[in-house]
Amino acid sequence: MKNYLLTLSILLLSIVLQAQEETTGAIVGKLSDKEMQGEPLPFANIIIKETNEGTTSDFDGFYALKNLEPGTYTVAFSFIGYKTLEIPSVEVVPGKVTEVNTKLGASAASLNEVVISTISRKDSEVALLIAQKKAIQIKESIGAQELAKIGVTDAATATTKLSGVTSSEASGDIFVRGLGDRYLHTTMNGLPIPSDDVERKNIDLGLFPTRVIKSVGISKTYSPSYSADQASGNVNIESRSLLGSRELSAGVRTGINTNVFQDDVVNNFKASPNANMISFGFYSKDMPTQNAVTQQSWDTQTVDFPLNYRYALNGGTKIGEKFEFFFSGAQTVAHKYRKGLFQNYNTNTLEDYYTDATRFSKTINTTGLLDLEYEFNNNHSLRVLSLFINKTADIVYEAGRNGEGFTQDETDEAENLNQFVRDQNLRHTRLSVNQLLGDHQLGEKNHLTWGVGANFIDANEPNRIRNEINFNEEQVSLGRQGNYQNRKSTQTIYDKEISARLNDELEIIKKDSISLVLNFGGNYRNKDRDFASQFFGLDEPNGTVLNAGSIDNLNSILNQENVENGSLRNNEQREDTYTGNLESTAGYISANYTVNKFNFNVGARYQKDDISVHYNVSNTFPREDIIAKSYDNIYPSLNIRYALNDNNNLRLAASKTITLPEFKEISPFPYVDPRAQTTQGNPELMASNTYNLDIKWELFPSNSQLISLTGFYKQIKDPIQKTQVTGSSGYFRFFNTSEKAEVYGLEFDADLNILNPEEGHSLDFGLNATKMWHEQDLKDVYNEDGALVRTFKYKNKTTSELQGASDWIFNAALNFKTNWERAFSANVSANYATGKIFALGSTNNVKDYENYYNDEIIEKGFVSLNTVLVQELNDNWNLRFTGKNLLNPEIERTQNIKPIGGPERTETVFSYTRGMILNLGVSFKF
């Protein structure tokens, strides 16, 4: 069946020809990309050689040559980097339409390839480079095809393949140009999506598998159509839709983590008691946490044969000529194990020391995407999509099992007791993203797009189990420093968010060398959060000392019998809660003016942000309060592009943006991680303002190659940083640590073809490198009376580098593909970022910060090396091998320690390896 759009075009052209007394004819058709399995080829040139009349194909590959005089013509199809195809003897008949459908590729097309059914796909490297070339803002994207080629499995890893982007192994945050989570903004199809983690502003991009991704893009310069709550960029995920008229494929893979399959680990891989309540990746709580204190086990269990695996199914079809649907579903199971050193220093004095800090984790990630599209006609379409993600992570952390654990002040040295810590936690996240998107061509010069979204998220820790034990060969007793060292706790986060966007693009002027286009619209976002956390603990009253006999048999003392006989006291802490609301309302306008080789885009956004947090939290004064903050600003932007020639662009961009404090950054709730390090919000935190400047040169040698060089500068007023709290051990808070911070640097990006596929095998190489300089002043804080109450200076430092910023970032990839009948492809990719500050230093003596201080904690750089090998077995079957983290480097955080009167030394405060991840899989395409 011929495509509806093509049929409609022929019908309309026929009517026009009849109105012209059938004196002229037309040539119409659809152009496809042979290299991309018949996908539409946009922006290709179609020329009639005899008359030089021509046109270009649109984004769906359609073209039309109208009002042609009757005769026989030669039609030439061309595209940069592809073989030009000439079709002779195309006859134009008065009052009729001649349909010519064909495809282009690296090798010559056959002249008998006409009237070809094709598919639609817009995530190829070529299409994204074309979009980047034509974009007004400085933007970089990576599509599904390239992600599959380099073995990327999720959106988080995808972002690190772009220049200037890296991730922190310690925190899991994404850093763009040295600025981390709080300075980024994340959207899906242009609409915001909520965070799944109380510790982060942005959602964990690892929750988005590449199966549901069309492309991932980072706009490094500000556009008024996006929220101004960003400083380093906007990450936008474009979700998948149907590839053509029909699609059905399935795949399975299995593999191992080499750390897990060590002899002493694979048969003793630990899981929490919560694992018994997981069915098919979904968690169901069978009792309240307060009851679980005495009615559920405190001890770990083991996992049988901890193998990694994944199974996936994609499918969809087009129904009639207007409606299509697509579904993608998958489940991934991954096991991880790590073991290393953990130390904690307070004012250069050792307070915690464990040489066997061990972490077992099993993660089950279940995803489902449903995409429905309806095209009313050529000018109006609607799209409905729903993404569901269910992530269940069972995590067991232990330290001190080897009898070498030490926590200061827990026991006297003469008692000869060691410390043991076990933290068992199940994290259950359910995310639902629902969007309705509209696209309307209102006449030739007016294009309206809109979207509304409703997002819901449950991110819970339904039953976290923590034990702190003192033990030796004769005694296993409970920790003494508090009522909740042996506890079960619950934490719940429920977010709901309504958002909307509207953009109207109006073409005012369109001439040969001059054009003027206006974009105006607005955004709305209303986000609510309900947060609650509560502890339930057991301790020994009146100096009672119970002996469990073994750290693996704590049930023998932590039980209902000992509560009833008075040997244990059951403690219940008041519930900590906070509720938060963010309402953001914005309107914007931008003008895009093109004259000859210049393109000027000037815009401004008015945005009003109201944030309120009502908290009721213990261990703070006042326990209950309401924090309200309001920001009302205009955020301007300027983008200038100069086309040096058809393949060269020179760009300049300038803008102002804001960074809003997050709910968790202003609520004083203290979150304790498994290592007993606490992060707490600060109600006095203020928003940051950022001034951005970018200059970029880019060269496109062909449609698949790019060379670019970018210089950037950012000045941040009142930057927000995480720092150790004065006088506290293992305690971190958020502060505006300085009056001003500056980040500037250079980015180099090159994607080059070494072997031309027209000559046989293909080999291409990609490299991006970023050099950054970054510094902030460290300020003093005075009260109303002029007295110094806090300083962020420490050691001999009055300035510091920025938290999370690396001096150098490198990403490289080498891709090879054969031209065999059954193609073989191989990819090797590597990433490296130099060391970065994990947490700023601090002092516990504002008047003598040079001697009484904690130095900054540094996360050292390391190389990550990955590979992907794919062999086509036949038209339907593919075999794929993936190897990740092949060098298995040690992940290490260090801190300089200098006791008073002694020499300074560098200590490793945290270290481990992640293990190599090896997978073998097969896929079948129907």
Angle at 889 between CA 885 and CA 895, to 5 degrees: 135
Residue whose tokens read 């694992």: 275
Whether the predicted pLDDT of 894 surpasses 80: yes
Give yes or no for a cis peptide into 683 (omega within 30° of 0): no
Residue 433 in domain = no
Amino acid present at 702: S
pLDDT single digits (tens) 282-296:
998 888 999 999 999
Confidence of residue 796 (pLDDT cuts 50, 70, 90): confident
**How high is the pLDDT of residue 670?**
83
Residue 16 has pLDDT above 50, yes or no: no
Would you say residue 46 lies in a domain?
Answer: yes
pLDDT of residue 40: 72
Segment 12-23 shows an average pLDDT of 43
Q: How confident is the model at residue 558 (pLDDT cuts 50, 70, 90)?
A: very high
More confident residue, 50 or 13: 50
Question: Could you tell me the two tokens for 582?
Answer: 């963010």
pLDDT band at 137 (very low <50, low <70, confident <90, very high): low
Confidence of residue 227 (pLDDT cuts 50, 70, 90): very high
Q: Could you tell me if residue 11 is inside a domain?
A: yes
Range with the poorest average pLDDT among 4-8, 328-332, 423-427, 787-791: 4-8
pLDDT of residue 134: 57
For residue 129, is pLDDT > 60? no
Is a pLDDT exceeding 70 seen at residue 172? no
| 629 vs 625: CA distance, rounded Å | 13
In a domain, 31, yes or no: yes
Over 90: is that where the pLDDT of 548 sits? Answer: yes
pLDDT of residue 139: 62
Using pLDDT thresholds of 50, 70 and 90, give the confidence band for residue 37: low
Task: Please report which helix (H) or strand (E) contains residue 133, including its range.
Answer: helix 125-134
pLDDT of residue 124: 47
Rounded distance between C-alpha atoms, residue 22 and residue 27, angstroms: 14
864 in a domain, yes or no?
no
Give the 3-state secondary structure of residue 557.
coil
Does some domain include residue 77? yes
In the structure, what pLDDT confidence band is assigned to residue 647 with cuts at 50, 70 and 90?
confident
Least confident residue range of 195-209, 320-334, 594-608, 873-887 = 195-209
Angstrom distance (rounded) from CA 571 to CA 534: 11
The CATH number given to whatever domain includes residue 52 is 2.60.40.1120
737 — pLDDT class (breaks 50, 70, 90): confident
User: Given pLDDT bands bounded at 50, 70 and 90, which one contains residue 11?
Assistant: very low
Q: What span, in angstroms and rounded, lies between the C-alpha atoms of 12 and 176?
A: 49
Instruction: Considering only the C-alpha atoms of the chain, give the largest distance between any 2 of them, rounded to a whole number of Å.
Output: 109
- What local confidence, expressed as pLDDT, does residue 347 receive? 85
pLDDT band at 298 (very low <50, low <70, confident <90, very high): very high
Averaged over 59-88, what is the pLDDT? 81
* More confident position, 201 or 603: 603
Which pLDDT does position 886 carry in this prediction? 94
Q: pLDDT-derived band of residue 28, with 50, 70 and 90 as boundaries?
A: confident
Percent of all residues in the chain with a pLDDT value above 90, rounded to a whole number = 47
Give the mean pLDDT of 531-545: 89
pLDDT band at 710 (very low <50, low <70, confident <90, very high): very high
Residue 18 resides in a domain: yes
What pLDDT is stored for residue 299 in this prediction?
96
Inside any domain, residue 678? no
Q: Residues 695-722: what's their mean pLDDT?
A: 87
CA dihedral 740, 897, 343, 804 (to 10 degrees): 20
pLDDT, one tens digit per residue, over 419-468 is 999 999 999 999 999 999 999 989 888 999 999 999 999 989 999 999 99
Nearest-angstrom CA–CA distance, 659 and 786: 29
Confidence at residue 14, expressed as pLDDT on a 0 to 100 scale: 43
**Domain that residue 96 falls in:** 4-104
**Residue 452 to residue 189: CA distance in whole angstroms:** 10
Split into its structural domains, the chain has a count of 1
Helix and strand numbers, DSSP H then E, in the chain = 8, 58
* Average pLDDT in the chain: 85
State residue 843 phi and psi, 5-degree precision.
-130, 155
Q: Does 131 have pLDDT greater than 90?
A: no
Q: Rounded to whole angstroms, how far apart are CA atoms 758 and 82?
A: 8
Q: Give the pLDDT of residue 117.
A: 29
* pLDDT band with cut points at 50, 70 and 90 for residue 415: confident
Lowest mean pLDDT of 149-153, 509-513, 658-662, name the range: 149-153
Burial group, residue 6, by CB count within 10 angstroms (0-12, 13-18, 19+): buried
- Mean pLDDT across 735-758: 87
Q: Do the beta carbons of residue 183 and residue 659 sit within 8 Å? A: yes
The mean pLDDT of 768-797, rounded to a whole number, is: 89
pLDDT for position 152: 67
More confident residue, 339 or 680: 339
If pLDDT is split at 50, 70 and 90, which confidence band does 15 have?
Answer: very low
CA distance 845 to 356: 33
- Confidence category of residue 324, pLDDT binned at 50, 70, 90: very high
Judged against a pLDDT cut of 60, whether residue 857 lies above it is answered with: yes
Above 60 in pLDDT, residue 8?
no
